[in-house]
Amino acid sequence: MQSELAALMKQQAEIDKIRQEQHADYTKAKSDLNVGLSGVRKALEVLREYYGSAEAAMLQSSSNFAEAMKQPTMPESHEKATGAGTSVIGILEVVESDFAKSLAAEERAEDDAAAEYDTISQENRVTKTLKEQDVKYKTAEAKSLEKRISELRSDRDTADAELTAVLDYFSKIKERCIAKPETYAQRSARREAEIAGLKEALAILQDETAFMQRGKRGAHSRFLGLH
């Protein structure tokens, strides 16, 4: 999310730079076109005024001269001057039209670029706000999860310690309470010990029986001697 925000900010910075360059180009082009258009219009104004005044004067002069000389035609020099002036004015009018069209095209292009820039910038602002909120929520969620993980890890460690203690205790109890099967050697040794014990007990009994019998015979002999 933070990487996407960084990319968005970089994109907006590039758009801002391009827009600044476009506006700078438009400002310069508009200034140049306005200067050219203003110059052409001033030239047209001067030429129109000049040729208009000159034509009026020539017409008045020709009228007076024709009336005086009874000649209805204008002088040839006046016709040439008027034709040249009309040609120059016509050329300047074409130039004026071209300047005006170029200026209008520049203004349309500037308006379109400004509108597109505003639209993209607005979309980026909305996206930036949403992503920042997402980052805020995700960060809070991550902190909550980290806390929960820490608590669970602590619980697990405690449970592991308790389990280890229980297993140790169970192992000790198991050793005490659960009979282990004897091996053959153990059983054989136990039987031999039992047999040895029985033999020893039998020998003791035999010795005691013999002793008692000897005691009885001695007592009988003493009894007979007394009689």
Per-residue DSSP letter, 178: S
- CA quadruple 213, 216, 218, 221: dihedral sign: negative
Position 204 pLDDT exceeds 70: yes
What pLDDT does residue 25 have? 95
Query: 77-97, pLDDT tens digit by residue?
Result: 445 545 566 788 889 999 999
User: 1: closest CA among 108, 114, 140?
Assistant: 140
CA 147 to chain CA centroid, Å, is 23
CA distance 101 to 33: 10
- Please tell me what DSSP assigns to residue 28: H
Domain positions in the chain are: 14-124, 186-227
More confident residue, 227 or 204: 204
Q: What is residue 75's predicted lDDT score, i.e. its pLDDT?
A: 46
Measured CA to CA, the distance from residue 136 to residue 138 in angstroms comes to 6
- Residue-level length of the chain: 227
The larger pLDDT score, comparing residue 215 to residue 3, is at 3
In contact, 131 and 5? CB cutoff 8 Å: yes
Q: What is the pLDDT of residues 120-142, one digit of tens each?
A: 999 999 999 999 999 899 889 98
94 with 10: CB under 8 angstroms? no
The class of domain 14-124 in CATH terms is mainly alpha
* Nearest-angstrom CA–CA distance, 143 and 23: 46
